[in-house]
Amino acid sequence: MKNCIACGMPMKNTADFAMNDENKDYCIHCTRSDGTIQTFDEKKESLINFIIKTQGLPHEAAESTALSMMKKLPAWKNHFT
């Protein structure tokens, strides 16, 4: 089992992978419509919105949480150096 390099989601089934391609290192939630991985800013906004929706945090707290999560993920390591 792989974890998505952009959000950390466990990818257990083929349907969890971008474009149903188990060779991809990122999941369906981190993919643009053409199958490429989202940019840092796209993923950050997506995570902020997800955190607000699921945890009810205000935007500032959700952004802080999203950035804290992203710092730990391989796809974004160069954005925090």
Predicted confidence (pLDDT) per residue in 10-28, tens digit: 999 999 999 999 999 999 9
CB-facing half-sphere around the CA of 72: CA atoms within 13 A:
9
- The model carries a pTM of 0.88
> Which pLDDT tens digit goes with each residue over 37-75?
999 999 999 999 999 999 999 999 999 999 999 999 999
Of 4, 3, 1, 6, nearest to 46 by C-alpha is 6
Predicted local confidence at residue 55, as pLDDT: 97
Residue range of the domain that includes 15: 2-80
Predicted local confidence at residue 81, as pLDDT: 76
- Looking at the 3D structure of the chain, how many domains does it have? 1
Predicted local confidence at residue 57, as pLDDT: 97
